[in-house]
Amino acid sequence: MDLDDIAARLGVPVDEVDRVHQLAGDRPSATLPAKAEAPAILDRLAVRPEDAAEIMAGWPEPGSPLWTSELRWLLDRSIALVRADLGGHGWLSPGPALPRERGPAWRHLYVYAYLALVDVARAYHREHGIADAVSWATLADLGRNLAIDRRMQREGWPVVQSWLTLHARGAIYELGRLQHQRGGTAIHLHIPESGPMTPEAVATSLDRARVFFPRHFPDERHTAFCCGSWLLDPQLLEYLPKESNIVRFQQRFELEPYAEPEGLDGDVEVLRFVFRTVTTPLDQLPRRTVLQRAIVDHLKAGRHWQIRSGRFPI
């Protein structure tokens, strides 16, 4: 198919289609599991029933009228694009953001790509001696993020579709309370929505990582844990009690000088993670917790939140 025609049919800029074409090239794709097997796999991936129902309704079966030639092209080349970077650990977009209101095939195209890559990722894990329990715990971030996207009225997916390529490429591993991302000489920490971030749970996860990475990636030399997050904004100390989990998490890190991260807005990220919305007016946001009140009061005062980076030795 002509790239200009594909872009027009998808309703996206042609340069984004060209990027997929260039990165995927003629590299091999991967096949989705059989539709009959999909419900069990979706359950293993913690996909909730309402999301699973949509995914099954839009399944890319041969001859499905939902799947036009341009959608099938994008699905195939998106899978190939991500698979070509297996073992990579950088941020990677699998393709252009689509008009998801056009139906389940459009809404979940990158979910189908992820499902096609589950066996690819698990094979990569096995090659590195990683236990199947860790594989499934890591890959189940799909279900968590689909549920969050639903709560966000579909506002969150453009970020998530790139985030999940880390899991599909063997870049990130969920080890207890924290997710740990390979990258250079540092292990990047991420905090999923999975319960209280107690100091004990954090310490246990860090200890697991200290054993996990030398064992499974012995050729990589990690000397520090690092994190870039609004959770490290020292302005939170003005509002939160010193014994709070967030403050005690901050205390582990030596902060780097502030530099505004490219493409990220601290205020937007705080709203995304604390309230799971980026468009609700401040006056309509809940104020049930100390953190929620702090976020709203800070913004109402005309101040801004920062994404800060810090690290500490392994």
Q: How far apart are the C-alpha atoms of 143 and 43, rounded to whole Å?
A: 9
Q: What is the pLDDT of residue 260?
A: 80
Q: Mean pLDDT in each 10-residue stretch from start to end of the chain (314 residues)?
A: 93 97 96 97 98 96 94 98 96 94 94 98 98 98 94 80 97 98 96 93 98 97 96 97 96 92 87 92 96 96 96 97
How high is the pLDDT of residue 157?
74
Q: Are 139 and 167 in contact (CB under 8 A)?
A: yes
Quick check: 140 and 229 in contact, CB under 8 A?
no
Crossing angle (nearest 10°) for helices 109-127 and 132-139 = 160
The angle formed by the CA atoms of residues 307, 141 and 222, to the nearest 5 degrees, is: 60
Supply the pLDDT for residue 27: 96
At 216 the pLDDT is: 98
Nearest-Å Rg of the Cα atoms of the chain is: 20
User: Could you tell me the residue ranges of all domains in the chain?
Assistant: 1-170
Residues facing 175 on adjacent strands: 178
Residue 217 pLDDT? 97
